[in-house]
Structures are given as C-alpha cells and as structure tokens.
Structure 1
Amino acid sequence: MTSSRWSDLERPPLNAGALRKAVVTPEAVWTSLDVVEATGSTNSDLSARAADGAPEGAVLVAEEQTTGRGRLDRRWSAPARSGLFFSVLLRPGEAAATADGIRKPVPVHRWGWLPLLAGVATATALSRAAGVDTALKWPNDLLLTVDGEERKAGGILAERVGETAVVVGIGLNVSLRAEELPVGTATSLALAGAPGTDRDPLLRAVLRSLGDWYDAWRAAGGDPAASRLQQTYAAGCATLGRQVRAELPGGRDLSGTAVAVDGDGRLVIAGSHGEQAVGAGDVVHLRPTG
C-alpha cells in the first residue's frame, strides 16, 4: 500500500480554499487565511508578519504545531490534524473604517479582554457547531465535561506586537484519542462525545463568532459592559463562585472565593484580605481548593 501523509482517513486536511471563501468576505474582519502543513508556532509566525506591517484580520492555521505554547510559555502539543491550531492578527490600537464611519482605537487598558473575548467566541461557536457546552476557566482555558469532571480541551494565548497589534492564538483538541492526550486532565471534543468533529465547519464557526464579538467590542470602544462581553463571560466562567488559590510570582499566593471579573478583565478574589483583583499576567497558577 502506498504511504500518504493523509493515510489517517479520520483526520483529513483542512480545505484552505473553501475556508478562505467562507470567512474572507468584504463585510468580515478577516482579510486573509493561510493554512500551512506544519510550523513551530502560529503565534510566532503571525507576530513576525504583524511586525512587518501585515493588516488586521490575517488568519494563520497550522495542521500541526511543533513548538506550540500557552500562557507562561507552557508547551502545547498534539498530533497532526487532530485539532484546530490557529492565530489571528488584530489591531485594536488603530482607527478602523466601517460602513458607519471611523472607529477610534481601543484604549490599551481594555486590551486585556481580548483573550477572554476569544474564549467567549469559541465557546459560543462550539455550542452551535459541535453540540457541546464549553465552560471557561479564567483566564484562558476551554473546558469540557467528561465523566462528570471538567477537563481542558483548549487554550488561548494573546500577545501584544508593537504599539497597535495583538496576536490571539487558539488551540483546540478535536479528535485526540485518550492515549494521545498530553496529560490526564486534558480531553478533546471526540472524547467529550461531540456529535460534530469536522474541523472545517468548526473553524468557520469559531472565526465567524470571533469576528462578531470583536466587531461588537470595537464598536463599544472596548467597553466590556456595553458590548455585553463582561456579562457573557461571567455567565460561562466555571471559575466564578469557587474557592481558588492564585499562585503569584515570588512564592506568594492569594486564597478565597472567585467572585467576579472586573472591568479590566481581572479576577476578583474575596478572602480574609478583603477583595483583591489579579490580572492574568500576575498569576503563575490558578487552582481550585474546594
């Protein structure tokens, strides 16, 4: 039998042409979409393009990432074509022309909402396209329930590039089998019993949802309340209402009940210290304690 890199019929390649036709449209934020067979990191590659002046709306998808990473440079790996591994280039720091006029740049202090926005958009899309309920773990994890336990199916990494741009990377386990999971606390759409695991419609759904949420957020000047982002995130966040311990740099920690996500996207923890907000960049680990 002739060997082929597409010999795993359960994991066909993405249809780049059809994806491009579906999501790169005049009314959409997405201006280009490229699919590569393999790369080290789509975030790194797209950040380099952003530094060279690539326009907002560029999408880079990899069938496989060899040095994918999450927050704090944690490794993210999966077999080829077993998931969705992609990054998008956004330029919230630039004015944007729309049919309704010119939108002003979003203030930098509101950019911290972008990874949370990506989480809401992805969870919304998966509910519709994959038929599974996806919960959000602050600040950047996507959770699915398997055998009564919440497990990580994906993650989000947002990185600032220069003065105006942010590259948002999303990794999602789609068809990974149990023996392929990197850690015992991970899962995939297939293992969660999702009726829809075709990557092409899943990617289309996520990009459309992400574009819609980003458009609403920009139209509101980055205001998370006016765009309903803050309310929607809180409604889907599994962290809120739970006892947690935030491990901070220098060996410090903060324990209490996660009670809210504030207007800057920080997690508010209520404990013996009163209420204190911590940002994603301040937290090394966030662990449940009860």
Structure 2
Amino acid sequence: MTPRDASDANDKPNGNRWSDLDRPPLNGAALRRALVRDGGHGGLWCDVEVVERTGSTNSDLVALAAEGKASEGAVLVAEEQNAGRGRLDRQWTAPARSGLFFSVLLKPAEVPVQRWGWLPLLTGVAVAAGLSRSAGVDTALKWPNDLLVTVNGEERKAGGILAERAGDDAVVVGIGINVTLREDELPVPAAGSLALAGATTTDRDTVLRTVLRSLEEWYGRWREAGGDPAASGLQEAYAAGCATLGRVVRAELPGDRSITGEAVAIDGDGRLVLATEEGVQEPVGAGDIVHLRPAGS
C-alpha cells in the first residue's frame, strides 16, 4: 500500500490539520514508527496507512489484496467512512475522527480453514484487552462480534467487528470503535463510546497502537497453536469476557427462524450453544443475538 496520511491531506477546512482540536487527526508516520518493525520483518504489521476518508476500509483492503497490492499485516485506517458496514449489511456511521475505523489483512496459512471462523472472536478478545490497557474501559463481548461498554449502568454497543474472505488464502478483519462520540451524536440510543464509558484517555493514536499490539499477540498465539482455540487460550478468554453467556437470548437465524434459550457455552468451532426449554442444546453458528434477560436473573 502507498501511504496517504490524513495528517498530510490538504482537503480539510483551510488545510489546517488542527481545525478540530477536540478530534485531532491520527499521526500516520508515528503509528508506522511504533508498529512496523525492522522494515516489516520481525513483527506482524508491515504497513499502516491512514486515509482522510473512504467508503469502507474492508472493501478497500479486500480489493487491494485481490490486486496483489497488500501483504499480510497491512493496516488501513480511515478518519471517516461513508459506507462502513457491520454484520448483516448494517450501516456504520460516525462523525469524522470520532472513532477508530480500520481493517487488517491476515493470512493464517498454518491454520486449517475450518478454524478461521475464530478470527472475529479472537479480534474481540484482543480489542477488549487493548481497550482495557489503553483507556481503562471494561469492554464485554456480545457474541459474535459486538463490543459492549457500560454507560450510566446501561450496556451499550461501542464497536463491532466484521471479517471477510479475501481470496482463498486471506481474511480482512474490520474493526470500528466509537471513541469520542457524544450523547447527541449517537446513531441509536443503544450506542455508546469510550468517552461516555469514562475512558481514562481518548487519544486515538494510543488506543490504536495498543489494540494492534494486542491483536498481534493473540493472533500469534492462536497461529502457533495451529488455530486450536483451547491450546491457545482463546476459547477460555472469549468465554470469560462474553456478556452473552449465562443469559436468556433469542437467536434470529437465517430463513426467518429463531431459537430462544440460555447461552451456556462457546463450543470448539466458536458457535454459541443454547440450552432450550425442551432440554436440547443447540449450537448457533450464525445469526443475530438478542439479550432478553441478564445473567443470573
């Protein structure tokens, strides 16, 4: 990828990179110095590109991978997305520089393809750990890909993860995190942000560096274990941080079908296991999960 940093762009009002002091731009050069080691050797991240705006970092990185213009460890960050997507083709919108919107390219050749479904869950564990370290925010995981924070005693969604195949040998994982979003900017009442959750810092450079280092650590551990979620510690870590487990939930499945039951486990394939009132344990591999009652109620 050829970097075009937001900090170098001239299409901001008056060309002034400090035009919004509450939401300063990311420093692409500093991020590369901190994350890209030994000319791209000796660490996962080979390039960090920051762009002023784009439709979707996931779509852009998938296209670059298809053209052979991006290697494993490429990171693409946008200060603003106008066609950001979540699961089930939901739109993700936020004001410019109010969050972190980025995608990474991974090629886990050592891992059997049937275990690649763990990548969104792995990313959730890594992001939650990174946010705890950098911003002091306790982040819970809603299966399979939502990041939850607590705002005024209420559980709110502050981020999400979307994984997409990029050819036969690669996966692009997109992450969106609301950082400084204010109450009057929330797209829906159930949304939240790190700032609203009482973050100790909303410095996006610091948060992004820590999250990417955490992702590198967890991805390396999982890859070294051949993608085994138990041996890598991933299955245990995800279950420990998953707000869905222990709750009565409704799984809205493809084909207008739904299942209601208690979420009792994450199985070896990363599926959510529901115990229904009929006494059946049913694994759910895809679908929309609605939390109906808190754990223990």
In structure 2, C-alpha distance between the alignment counterparts of 1:50 and 1:264, rounded to whole Å: 26
Given that 2:17 and 2:24 are in contact with CA atoms closer than 8 Å, whether structure 1 keeps it comes out as no
CA deviations over 1:19-55 (Å, ceiling 9, x no partner): 0011111321011110000000000000001112221
Correspondence for 2:176 among 156, 171, 180 = 171
Q: Which runs of 5+ in 1 are unaligned?
A: 95-104
Q: Secondary structure at the match of 2:92?
A: coil
Correspondence for 1:218 among 220, 223, 227 = 223
| Paired AA for residue 30 in structure 2 | A
Give 1:8 shift: 1.4
In structure 2, C-alpha distance between the alignment counterparts of 1:249 and 1:207, rounded to whole Å: 33
Q: Secondary structure at the match of 2:84?
A: coil
Task: Please give the residue correspondences for 1:23-42 in structure 2 after superposition, counting only pairs within 5 Å.
Answer: 23-25=35-37, 26-42=41-57
Counterpart in 2 of 1:9?
21
Q: Secondary structure at the match of 1:35?
A: strand
Counterpart in 2 of 1:116?
121
Counterpart in 1 of 2:291?
288
In structure 2, C-alpha distance between the alignment counterparts of 1:221 and 1:176, rounded to whole Å: 38
Give 1:112 shift: 0.5
Counterpart in 1 of 2:256?
251
Q: Secondary structure at the match of 2:76?
A: strand
CA deviations over 1:154-190 (Å, ceiling 9, x no partner): 0000001111100000000000111111110001111
Alignment RMSD: 1.1
Q: Secondary structure at the match of 2:270?
A: coil
Correspondence for 1:275 among 258, 267, 281 = 281
1:19 aligns with 2:31: yes
Q: How many residues align?
A: 275
Q: Secondary structure at the match of 1:185?
A: coil
Counterpart in 1 of 2:195?
190
Q: Which runs of 5+ in 2 are unaligned?
A: 1-12
In structure 2, C-alpha distance between the alignment counterparts of 1:209 and 1:238, rounded to whole Å: 20
Give 1:5 shift: 6.1
Counterpart in 2 of 1:50?
65
Q: Secondary structure at the match of 1:250?
A: coil
| Paired AA for residue 284 in structure 2 | V
In structure 2, C-alpha distance between the alignment counterparts of 1:20 and 1:249, rounded to whole Å: 41
Correspondence for 1:88 among 90, 101, 104 = 104
| Paired AA for residue 253 in structure 1 | S
Q: Sequence identity, in percent?
A: 70
Counterpart in 2 of 1:77?
93
Counterpart in 2 of 1:265?
270
**TM-score, normalization: structure 1?**
0.93
| Paired AA for residue 80 in structure 2 | E
